[in-house]
Chain A
Amino acid sequence: NFLLTQPPSVSESPGKTVTISCTRSSGSITTNYVQWYRQRPGSAPHTVIFDDNKRPSGVPDRFSGSIDSSSNSASLTISGLKTEDEADYYCQSYETSTVVFGGGTKLTVL
């Protein structure tokens, strides 16, 4: 099984851009799609990116996803940060028929 490693926390100011990384420990990051979820305190997770870089309806284009094969990682970029973006963010991918989650990144907007 592979691991998905995320930084425990990131912080940035309102209006700025932040990028959260998700590094796959073994096997290629391009083998399986990557999803990203936002979870606000006390709430259920909410999908912000699926299939590496697609946004579900209702998710603003301030959210974007990308894959970098050279670093074997996926990234979630949030531009024009708002205080409401403050939350935990999780990446997720697949290994054959099982599902792997990253440990989560706490985004602070201050």
Chain B
Amino acid sequence: EGQLVESGGGLVQPGRSLRLSCTASRLTFDDHAIHWVRQPPGKGLEWVSGITWNSAAVDYADSVKGRFIVSRDNSKNSLYLQMNSLRADDTAIYYCTNLEEFWGQGTLVTVSS
């Protein structure tokens, strides 16, 4: 069965940057649009960003537009999220998913001084 694995989370100070990665295995990665979804502690799911299979189209939630950049490298079966100007309210578990079948296990990002 296909699998997505996130990495790159951690503790970061407000205003700094962090880059998340999501690596796929046992699935045809370039068949799928892939999204980043986050979940703040104790709260519900929030869509962050999505990218089409060929990177032709990307989009962002208003809360991260202008600060986050999504990209992918199909040759490496990988998705990335460059997070800049991080704020305390970006603290969450970040998941990558194709929304139809595959979800990663998540990586925790904590923004705190």
Q: A103 in the interface, Cβ–Cβ < 8 Å?
A: yes
Contact assessment for A101 and B47 in the assembled complex, using a CB-CB cutoff below 8 Å: yes
| A-B contact number at CB 8 A | 56
Contacts of B1 in A (CB 8 A): 57-58
Name the residue on B nearest A101 (C-beta). B45
Contacts of A103 in B (CB 8 A): 44
Q: B103 in the interface, Cβ–Cβ < 8 Å?
A: yes
Name the residue on B nearest A56 (C-beta). B101
* Bound-complex Cα distance A58 to B2 (A): 13
Contacts of A44 in B (CB 8 A): 95, 103-106
* Bound-complex Cα distance A56 to B103 (A): 12
Q: A110 in the interface, Cβ–Cβ < 8 Å?
A: no
Min C-beta distance of A70 to chain B, whole Å:
26
Contact assessment for A50 and B44 in the assembled complex, using a CB-CB cutoff below 8 Å: no
* Bound-complex Cα distance A99 to B59 (A): 10
1/0 per position for A36-54, CB-CB distance to B under 8 A?
Answer: 0101000011110011000
Other-chain contact of A51, B37, B45, B100, B104 (Cβ < 8 Å):
B100
Q: A98 in the interface, Cβ–Cβ < 8 Å?
A: yes
Q: B11 in the interface, Cβ–Cβ < 8 Å?
A: no
* Bound-complex Cα distance A45 to B36 (A): 13
Contact assessment for A47 and B44 in the assembled complex, using a CB-CB cutoff below 8 Å: no
Other-chain contact of A50, B46, B101, B104 (Cβ < 8 Å):
B101
Contacts of B101 in A (CB 8 A): 47, 50, 56
* Bound-complex Cα distance A4 to B47 (A): 13
What would 17 more interface pairs be, CB under 8 Å, given A47-B99, A58-B1? A35-B100, A37-B45, A37-B103, A44-B104, A44-B106, A45-B45, A45-B95, A46-B103, A50-B99, A50-B100, A88-B44, A90-B45, A92-B45, A98-B59, A98-B61, A101-B37, A101-B44
Residues of B within 8 A of A (CB): 1, 35, 37, 44-47, 50, 57, 59, 61, 95, 97, 99-106
